[in-house]
Amino acid sequence: MALRNLTNWRSIIYGVENTNDYIKIEKERENDVISHYILRLAFSKSEHLRRWFLANELELFRVRLKALSLDSASFTKFIHSNDVGYPLINSAETIFPQNVQNAYFGSSTKLYVLPFAEAVELVGKRAVLLHKGNAYLTQNQLMPSVCSLFRTYLSQSLSSISNSLGNLFDEDNRMQPILEELSMDLVENDIPANHSELKLYIKHFPLCMRVIHEVLRQLHHMRHWGRQQYGLFLKAIGLPLEESLKFWREEFTHKMDVDKFEKNYAYNIRHNYGKEGRRTDYTPHSCMRIISNIGPSTGECYGMALFLSR
């Protein structure tokens, strides 16, 4: 009797009709969890690999969450079972007038309440109502905030693993070649192996980087801030140092000899890759850093097409 009841509960929870199906689902879930954590180990050793893994895991999470949101009960269960901690209220009629609720929430009556700082994307678009520091969101509006929480959690986890990899390899160095081969197999076709392959990736570049690339191709020269922005971008997408040197050398030697390039420009490229000076591992400029600059001086190229068109 107890076993029959347990089987019924499994059928209700997992949508399966028999224990064999349940066991199969549990096994697949276990494999999914194990493979995810193995990939965390494999993709924690460098900033480029962490960004690659984070972007792809976030996209997978977003797709799964969207599919889950088609069933309101399942979505609510997911939120509570993962301790997201956003209160759910049945009505906000005591807070906002009915006509305001209709304009923002439509037919939705159940709303999630969260600190406005965790819904900045929607606040920036004026797509949510605020009251005493809280944002009131429908289920569909909540998804970006949940994705943001997942991204923050995964990013912190990858950084923590990165700091511990040395100890892990000291304890069992058999893991290192396995993890290195795994990460290379997955991303080797996702980055330019050499500078001559950049033309295959240009159409996928952010607009600002495409603008800089086109200016460089036309002028065969670029001043400091343009080189900084584009050089660090090329580094971030995985172009190796030697290939980056070849790329800039080929462009600049249209207008100068190799000796002048090596004397005036090669050092800065190596410096950006952490091979000179303080050997700092520089990261690419963020959008906000680029936008916040006062704008290009004479002869500079910042790549910000919208800024330059004003």
Q: pLDDT digits over 264-294, tens only?
A: 999 999 999 988 988 887 888 888 787 776 5
CA atoms of 238 and 267, how far apart (whole Å) = 19
Give residue 196's pLDDT band: very low, low, confident or very high (50, 70, 90).
confident
Contact 293, 196 (CB under 8 A): no
Terminal-to-terminal C-alpha distance of the chain = 75
| Amino acid at position 276, single letter | E
**What value does the mean pLDDT of the chain take?**
79
DSSP designation for 265: T
Q: What is the mean pLDDT of residues 132-141?
A: 83
In the chain, CATH 1.20.930.80 covers 8-145
Q: Name the one residue in this structure whose structure tokens are 């990899």.
A: 165
CATH class held by domain 8-145: mainly alpha
Given a cut of 90, whether residue 108 has pLDDT beyond it is no
